[in-house]
Structure 1
Amino acid sequence: MDLRQIQYFIALFEDGSVTRAAKRLNIVQPALSMQISKLEAELHQKLFERGPHGMTPTDAARQMYRLYTPIMRDIERAREQLSRRDAIVTGRVALGMVSSEAESVLPESLARFNAMFPQVEVSVADGFSAQLIDAVEAGRLDAAVINKPRGRLTLDVVPLLDEEMVLVTSAALGPQLPPTLELAALADVELVLPTRRNGLRGVLDAALLAANVVIKPKFEIDLLNTIVQFVEQSSVATILPRVVVQRKVDQGVLCVRAIASPPIVRHIILVSHPKRPLGPAALALIDIITEEIRRVTTGTALA
């Protein structure tokens, strides 16, 4: 396995099509297919299933993507730093994050960032999306990672990723439910949800309104950690992004179920002030945070 093969694999995984991946890499399709076949032979694992909608990654491919994507990004940044011998990144980054992301991926992200940029100071604030938008507009924050609001923004917006929200129950005490539920079926489930001040609740309410579905939560709590602990210890369910609960799912404490017809998707965006461009340190930290979110959420099977 060499770096070129890993680059080819990552491109195919992200694009889901040999045609698109080859175009992105500026190579011919047979060359890409040949390198992927060599990689599969070396690993003794099938990485992709060919279907009518493109190339579908296997479980082995999802695991490989989670493991190698951060490494490849670190290599690219290391190469960039070494090519600028006298360019030592310094300064301070003030970043805002909604709590669903801050609590889930921030420790790992900061550890990676500190190893790469030891001379940069970092300040991170969490809060509701509306609060973080105000802080960026006022100049108290360089940028913020938030849930995309329904209204228009005067700030610069960069889409980071889309993430489906899932139904979460206790593995020991939760109700017996099918692996996938239609959105309308949630009306019959006892729920604890964030309050309407929380951007996650806004995403849920917008999906319910579009589907003409009405649900009435029994409990409303804004502290996500409290919601997760409450669900863990009761028969009450919740609806949250997978990144918030994935560690407890991996530990066998919680179960998640897909929501369909339609799914509930929250859009994570980066906002910054158009008159205050972000520096290399801020951009690097945002890239690392985005990678960590993808690493946690990509390709994990539903319980």
Structure 2
Amino acid sequence: MESALLELRQLRHFLIVTESGALSKASSIIGVAQPALSRQIRQLEEELGVQLLYRHGRGVRATEEGAQFYAAIVPVLRELDQVKSDLVAAAKVPAGDIVFGMPPSMSAAIGAEIVSDFFVHYPQIKLHLVDGLSGFINEWLASGRVDMAIINNARKAPYMRMDPLLEVDLLLFGRRRDIDAIAPDTETFPTPALVGLPLLLVGRNHGLRRELDGAMQRLGLELDIKAEVDALAPLKKLVRDGHGLTVLPHGVINFEASNPEFSFRKLVEPNLTQRFMLAFSLQRPTTLAMRELARRVRVELRKAVEDGRMMGRLSKASIPYDGCGDL
């Protein structure tokens, strides 16, 4: 690499020496001492096996071979300069393809807003949004299927880095008559009292389930899990049909929460939460487009919390998480 860089400098310096007609003048223009500049020209002549410059009392001029070489490298160097200018300009404009994974609670709250925002403001970015439970998204990050993702209660992994986004409360959710029967006239429900309830939960590889299982283990309790369902639509249908209760964050049940047939209670004593992280795959470099997407995610999340689409506490963007601790 050093040799290639030296050769490029030699070409540029030869160009300036030829155009200026004097080593002393070229030395002043380039900012290189005249002896060093002379050595570069001699090295170039030795590599090419021809004399490029004729030295005379008033300076230098190109030999026939030197003039031919000069004519050949001028368009090459101009093309290189144009490529450099194009790359610098491109680096200032977000562009490219991004595959972005989001859990259902996030895609329901801010997915459409992010995509429509990119349509308007970032036409050079092709954004592909994929929706899935956090356990699946983690697998997609590991395989390189997604470039960025929002995941929850994630563990450290060598294939991604993470920044904190949002912490949300977990809720006991079900039909209103079922919820009111076990927790009348209250907005909360004690976590230990989940024992004995017919629960329909996501599988053990998902962040929400790990949080719930960990809390039960610390309490020395065991849940009565009626079924594990790793798809939200059938999970909520089973709840609607009265087959049991479930534990979910507010963003997932935002639509049902406004339906009088359903109700929810915040889990307390201890409080159960989900910590959402913005994850970047380490299988590709973080581009300007990806950094802009990260910024827009934070903007839209703040709006969603402020207008009630999500219930949670925003993390400070200035506190990065690099995967060095276990969440």
TM-score normalised according to structure 1 size: 0.62
Letter matched to residue 141 of structure 2? V
Shift of the alpha carbon at 1:235?
A: 6.5
Tell me: CA distance 1:284–1:232, structure 2 relative to 1, closer, same or farther (3 Å): farther
CA distance in 2, matches of 1:190, 1:296: 32
Q: Tell me, which stretches of 5 or more residues in structure 2 are unaligned?
A: 1-88, 312-327
CA distance in 2, matches of 1:153, 1:282: 20
CA distance in 1, matches of 2:270, 2:112: 33
CA distance in 2, matches of 1:167, 1:133: 25
Residues 107-138 of structure 1, C-alpha deviations (whole Å, 9 max, x = no match): 23212232221231111233444543343344
Tell me: CA distance 1:298–1:247, structure 2 relative to 1, closer, same or farther (3 Å): farther
Does structure 2 retain, via aligned residues, the 8 Å contact 1:133–1:271?
no
Alignment of 1:148-297 (within 5 A): 148-149=153-154, 151-154=155-158, 155-171=160-176, 174-176=179-181, 177=183, 178-234=186-242, 236-274=244-282, 276-297=284-305
CA distance in 1, matches of 2:136, 2:199: 26
Task: Indicate the percent of aligned positions where both proteins have the same amino acid.
Answer: 24
Shift of the alpha carbon at 1:294?
A: 4.5
The corresponding residue for 2:114 is 109
Does structure 2 retain, via aligned residues, the 8 Å contact 1:171–1:232?
no
SS of 1:243 mapped into structure 2:
helix
SS of 2:279 mapped into structure 1:
strand
**Aligned with residue 120 of structure 1, among 116, 125, 145:** 125
Does structure 1 retain, via aligned residues, the 8 Å contact 2:146–2:281?
no
Does structure 2 retain, via aligned residues, the 8 Å contact 1:174–1:235?
no
Does structure 2 retain, via aligned residues, the 8 Å contact 1:170–1:235?
no
Residues 18-49 of structure 1, C-alpha deviations (whole Å, 9 max, x = no match): xxxxxxxxxxxxxxxxxxxxxxxxxxxxxxxx
Shift of the alpha carbon at 1:257?
A: 0.8
SS of 1:271 mapped into structure 2:
strand
Tell me: CA distance 1:100–1:189, structure 2 relative to 1, closer, same or farther (3 Å): same
Letter matched to residue 218 of structure 2? A
SS of 1:213 mapped into structure 2:
coil
Does structure 2 retain, via aligned residues, the 8 Å contact 1:174–1:236?
no
Shift of the alpha carbon at 1:272?
A: 1.6
Shift of the alpha carbon at 1:166?
A: 0.8
Q: Does 1:91 align with 2:96?
A: yes
Letter matched to residue 188 of structure 1? G
Q: What do you get for the CA RMSD once the two structures are aligned?
A: 3.0
Does structure 2 retain, via aligned residues, the 8 Å contact 1:90–1:120?
yes
TM-score normalised according to structure 2 size: 0.58
Residues 231-285 of structure 1, C-alpha deviations (whole Å, 9 max, x = no match): 2332622110111011221343422211111011111112223463322322333
Shift of the alpha carbon at 1:200?
A: 1.9
CA distance in 2, matches of 1:215, 1:107: 36
CA distance in 2, matches of 1:139, 1:220: 27
Tell me: CA distance 1:172–1:185, structure 2 relative to 1, closer, same or farther (3 Å): closer
SS of 1:188 mapped into structure 2:
coil
User: Please, which moves more after superposition, 135-144 or 184-193?
Assistant: 135-144
